[in-house]
Amino acid sequence: MPHTPSPLARPFPAMPPIAGVTPHVARAHYKSWDRCDLTFITLAPGTSVAGVTTQSKCPSPEVEWCRAALVLGQARALVVNAGNANAFTGQRGRAAVEAIAARAAGHLGCQPSDIFVASTGVIGVPLPIDKAEAGLDAAFAAAPCSWEDAANTIGTTDTFAKGAMTTAIVDGRTVTLVGIIKGSGMIAPDMATMLGFIFTDAAVEPVFLQAALAEANRASFACITVDSDTSTSDTVLAFATGAAGNAPLAASDDAGADAFRAALSDLCLQLAHLVVRDGEGASKFIEIAVTGAESDASARTIALSIANSPLVKTAIAGEDANWGRVVMAVGKAGEPAERDLLSIRFGDTQVAQGGLAVEGYDEAPVAGHLKGQDIEIGVDLGRGEGRATVWTCDLTHGYISINADYRS
Amino acid sequence: MPHTPSPLARPFPAMPPIAGVTPHVARAHYKSWDRCDLTFITLAPGTSVAGVTTQSKCPSPEVEWCRAALVLGQARALVVNAGNANAFTGQRGRAAVEAIAARAAGHLGCQPSDIFVASTGVIGVPLPIDKAEAGLDAAFAAAPCSWEDAANTIGTTDTFAKGAMTTAIVDGRTVTLVGIIKGSGMIAPDMATMLGFIFTDAAVEPVFLQAALAEANRASFACITVDSDTSTSDTVLAFATGAAGNAPLAASDDAGADAFRAALSDLCLQLAHLVVRDGEGASKFIEIAVTGAESDASARTIALSIANSPLVKTAIAGEDANWGRVVMAVGKAGEPAERDLLSIRFGDTQVAQGGLAVEGYDEAPVAGHLKGQDIEIGVDLGRGEGRATVWTCDLTHGYISINADYRS
């Protein structure tokens, strides 16, 4: 990890092994750095997989590969390359992904479509096939590594290793879910890419795993933003080995399905929050809760408009309770809103209500709240039952330094 | 003007008086500053008016007042308050606008609906009626001022006075159009507000003036962005006194209508560019031209996605030809785009084409172009005939300093 850890960093948690999942790392030397940069995680036969990928209209060949492989619902390995996103590299980029999948499948005696591939780093440079193949061979020969090693190896300009775990009771058995994630630290010309990988020993059918992951994604990864810029390579994959021996979960009314969905949602939210905590230059973790909108979708659009506003983000960086900028961001969202019904709070203090500032509100608790690292902004639109919560970080000189004070 | 002038500043041009238009300024003391902050521009009877206002769902009472008055199409005066936006101030804010219109109408012996009002500055503090009335009285008693004085007086944290002029031949007579504009410099807790005012001696019927202004707006003010944040108070008004004595323009096939529309569009574009040149912290003026899109609207969405991307803006600040970030911004725009048809240029140099980097392109002219103040990014989508051009500035430490390094 190249940078000083984010002031919002969290220590890497104790994370148990998952039966059927074996992580390895190696040095593929994608860049001239002194660290492992290739992660090869092998999976027991019969492992189910589900995934969500970037909405970008210019996705990387890795994303296209994963989308095609997800249709089959089975996985034997995950390969992650750090230092080169392999995006916008045309036929040569596609060839690199195919070569990696073929090489890994050769080691494991499976089909290339059982291999999932993700890459992160510079855009526009085809991934060197010879380095990838040599790295894969070295990783396959290496002893298994820890989750923390794997989390460090998938990172690029992340400032701390990010992982989370949780458990659920399914069919009378305790199943464990762990996840590692990278994203949102970046130095030019690297592209921020959010890659998240979740592993569980639960037995889960692919279709149900996909539905549960999609549901968890909507309230976690889809609700975070650092700078409104969507990567070409964003990918979250969930792998379920079935080693826990529960009756496989196949539908939402199966016993334990609710517990598993809740655990997966909790894990995704933990991981998503860690990405925000490593947002470039972040000094504050900001939760924006919008209520009283006409619909949940409308609430989310408004919440993201606030979260992506450079003026709101710089105000929070400046510890300034500038609710006028929140009004501005509500107004520009294009969703139904009525000035005279709007109310806004910072932390627990209502600062504006019914179309104007709350007269003589106590500024001391607001100032105290803003001096902290965890900031809450609440907006009630006074129109309906729609609600959404999103998370972001502030916009500081650190962001500019990371992304502009650099010449390629 | 409180700040060091923007490095992209332009000198104030020589601007002639417009027959029927008389600008005055005064000190209303809205803030504890040593400058004029109230502008009162009187207009000859029979002056036509047209306007475009913010798309914000939380507009200021001034914007609501102007929208109602625009329906009548006639104007006798414009009042601009600087230092207080009077937005999100409920009934007290509306009362302040009504009081200003009534006071100005009293001086001129006209209807309050003939008075147009705009305010810019802090949000959420009702405009003090007593200061506004005293300021109006003082301005009415004062000698007429120059355009440059008026341009300085409508500014808040602008770093230079912004004005432009042009002429057109209509009905055998030379008509003159001048404009002043403020916007996009800001210090917390002030809200950036773009206010633009255009005056011409041409005789133009209100309905045609509105159509011409709307058309000019679409290719100028609607195509600039500094930080993607839309103000509650954005307003552009155009006033036509008719003193030039041409046969009034009423329809687009009238003789001289094309010349007038072209002149108005040219003036709006000049004024819009000046706002970008005073973007907070700007060190580069960036033109983004998108071609080959499925429609002009699609091209504009993609161009604005690039222009609003913090990663693209910081790359330009860093003089870094990081076309991968341009790809990213095209991909996230949500519009039809195909990676393998995309080509990108910086200045005159093609850097990516057909889905990958142009092999061995000459980096010297690209580096030279990026070191300049005027940057051009060209993106061709290779799909259709849609095109759009937008303008923005880079994102620098200056932006953070202006907007975060401040406590209210």
Interface contact A54-B357, CB threshold 8 A: no
* Range among A291-305, A331-345, B347-361 rated most confident: A291-305
Q: What is the pLDDT of residue A408?
A: 47
Q: How far is A26 from chain B (nearest CA, A)?
A: 27
For residue B298, count other CB atoms closer than 10 A to its CB: 22
Which pLDDT band holds residue B223 (cuts at 50, 70, 90)? Answer: confident
Q: Which chain B positions have a beta carbon within 8 Å of A335's beta carbon?
A: 57
Mean pLDDT of the region A238-245: 90
For chain B, the first-to-last Cα distance in angstroms comes to 20
Q: How far is CA B11 from the centre of its chain?
A: 17
The rounded distance, in Å, linking the Cα atoms of B61 and B89 is: 8
* Neighbouring residues of B234: CB distance < 8 A, sequence distance ≥ 6: B53, B54, B56, B63, B193, B194, B195, B221
Q: Looking at residues B372-380, what average pLDDT do you find?
A: 96
- Name the DSSP class of B123: S
SS (H, E, C) A51-110: EEECCCCCCCHHHHHHHHHHCCCEEEEEEEEEEECCCCCHHHHHHHHHHHHHHHHHHHCC
Å from B374 to nearest chain A CA?
17
Say whether pLDDT at A230 is over 80: no
- Contact state of B328 with A407 under an 8 Å Cβ cutoff: no
> What's the rounded Cα separation, in Å, for the pair A111 and A206?
17
Can you tell me the ipTM of this complex?
Answer: 0.77
Instruction: Give the CA count within 13 Å in the CB-facing half-sphere of B236.
Output: 30
Question: Is B57 annotated as contributing to ligand binding?
Answer: no
Residues 6+ apart with CB under 8 A from B184: B158, B192, B194, B226, B275, B276, B278, B279, B280
Sign of CA dihedral A109, A113, A117, A122: positive
Domain ranges of chain A: 21-277, 285-404
Higher pLDDT, B354 or B326: B326
Instruction: Count CA atoms closer than 13 A to B164's CA, side-chain side.
Output: 20
Alpha carbon distance B193, B200 (integer Å): 23
Whether the Cβ atoms of residue A318 and residue B404 lie closer than 8 Å to each other: yes
pLDDT recorded at residue A1: 42
Let me know if domain A21-277 sits in CATH 1.10.290.10: no
Percentage of chain A modeled with pLDDT above 90: 50
What residues 112-141 of chain B have any CB closer than 8 A to a CB of chain A? 122-126
pTM confidence score = 0.80
The residue with greater pLDDT, B258 or A122, is B258
Of B88, B328, B400, the CB nearest to A327: B88
pLDDT digits (tens, 9 = 90+) for A319-346: 998 888 898 889 888 888 888 899 999 9
Q: What pLDDT score was predicted for residue B187?
A: 27
User: Is residue B191 predicted with pLDDT exceeding 70?
Assistant: no
Q: Is the predicted pLDDT of residue B1 greater than 60, yes or no? A: no
Task: Report which listed range, A177-186, A227-236, B50-59, B123-132, is most confident.
Answer: B123-132
Q: Which of A18-27, A53-62, A177-186, A355-364 has the lowest mean pLDDT?
A: A177-186
- CA B253/CA B259 separation, integer angstroms: 11
Q: Which residue reads 């802090």 in tokens?
A: B122
Which band of pLDDT confidence, cut at 50, 70 and 90, is reported for residue B8? confident
CA torsion sign, B250 to B256 to B257 to B260? negative
| Pick from A37, A102, A52: nearest CA to A76 | A102
- Percentage of residues of chain B with pLDDT beyond 90: 50
pLDDT at A185: 41
The 10 Å Cβ neighbour count of residue B149 is 15
- How far apart CA A276 and CA A204 sit, in angstroms, is 29
Is the domain covering B285-404 a CATH 3.40.50.2300 domain? no
Return the minimum-mean-pLDDT range out of A1-5, B48-52, B241-245: A1-5
Closest approach of chain B CAs to the CA of A42, in angstroms?
31
Strand A224-225 vs strand A386-393: parallel, antiparallel, or unpaired? parallel
Catalytic-role residue among B39, B153, B193, B225 = B193
**First-to-final CA distance of chain A:** 20
* Residue keyed to tokens 């889809």: A222
- The larger pLDDT score, comparing residue B101 to residue A225, is at B101
Average predicted confidence (pLDDT) for chain B = 88
Model confidence over B26-52: pLDDT tens digits?
999 999 889 999 999 999 999 999 888
Q: Is it the case that residue B186 has pLDDT exceeding 50?
A: no
Give the C-alpha separation, A101 to B131, whole Å.
Answer: 73
Side-chain half-sphere of A177: how many Cα atoms within 13 Å? 30
